[in-house]
Amino acid sequence: MSDVDCVVRSRDRLGESPLWAGAERALYWVDSRAPSIRRFDPATGATATRALSEVIGSIGLRSRGGLLLATQSGFHTLDRLEAGEPSALIDPERHLPENRFNDGRCDRRGRFWAGTMNDHRRDPTGSLYRLDPGGACTRIRDDIIVPNSLAWSPDDATMYFADTYREVILAYDFAADEGTISNPRVLVDRFGGGRPDGSTVDADGCLWNAEYGGARIVRYTPAGKVDRVIPMPVSQPTCCCFGGESLDVLYVTSATQRLTPERLAAEPLAGSVFALRPGVRGLPEPAYGG
């Protein structure tokens, strides 16, 4: 594998939420704006796409099989990618019709965390929610413009979170047993021309962030120092995750939205999925326990 390979050539409007399903040896992600869920089998090169009826922000694995979905209308489950309809769990923002869910991820206690955003204007009407395995949904914080970068340190002591349009990545103290956060502090507030989008954490405890508009992936130490910068062949990388049998492949999604015809012509791989071997390993993707 070369430094950065295009493994799924596509024109996703807003590729997001990549996750590695270890039991299937497959990569899942979403095209939020298509909207659809997509699956890539690296062994065969086959890609499957499941169309959806509404905007989707993120997905998570479920311990009983299938996927958890965070969409325009709240949380849903989907038993099979190939057939069946999503089953609604809860919509905590039914009273906010302009809002939708965006970035989301499972913690290692089987809880799914996801943030909402206003999908019509950049007003801070979003919130961060925690969905427990029993189905209880708790609002953790509010005043969010665009939620992103949810990830946890290997020891579960720290949770990372970014409000993209405030151009800051925060680190919180994380109480894993209780599922609570405290003591927010700035991890990163300077970027290379883009904004912080989706993230993942490697086994060494460093945070890998896709810099939307910055055409790069950046590895930050737990102290917030830039450790490594990987240029991307597209200007809008959106999120990343570790996968492969040894969790040593970094997969990166990307977007075409808001690119002019001239920019699209200059970026023939925009909206595709990329892979690279950065020389470190990731951590297994947790599953939602409900």
In this structure, which long-range contacts are made by residues 152-155, counting pairs with CB atoms below 8 Å and at least 24 apart in sequence?
152/107, 152/108, 152/201, 153/201, 153/205, 153/222, 154/201, 154/203, 154/204, 154/205, 154/283, 155/205
Specify the CATH class of 5-288 in words: mainly beta
Is the model's pLDDT at 281 over the cut of 90?
Answer: yes
Whether pTM exceeds 0.95: yes
Kindly state the average pLDDT of the residues 23-46. Answer: 98
pLDDT at residue 1 in the model: 43
Average pLDDT of the chain to the nearest whole number:
97
Annotated catalytic residues are 197
pLDDT at residue 86 in the model: 96
pLDDT at residue 290 in the model: 82
- Ranges of each domain in the chain: 5-288
pLDDT 10s digits, 49-62 = 999 999 999 999 99
Kindly state the average pLDDT of the residues 212-218. Answer: 98
pLDDT 10s digits, 78-98 = 999 998 899 999 999 999 999
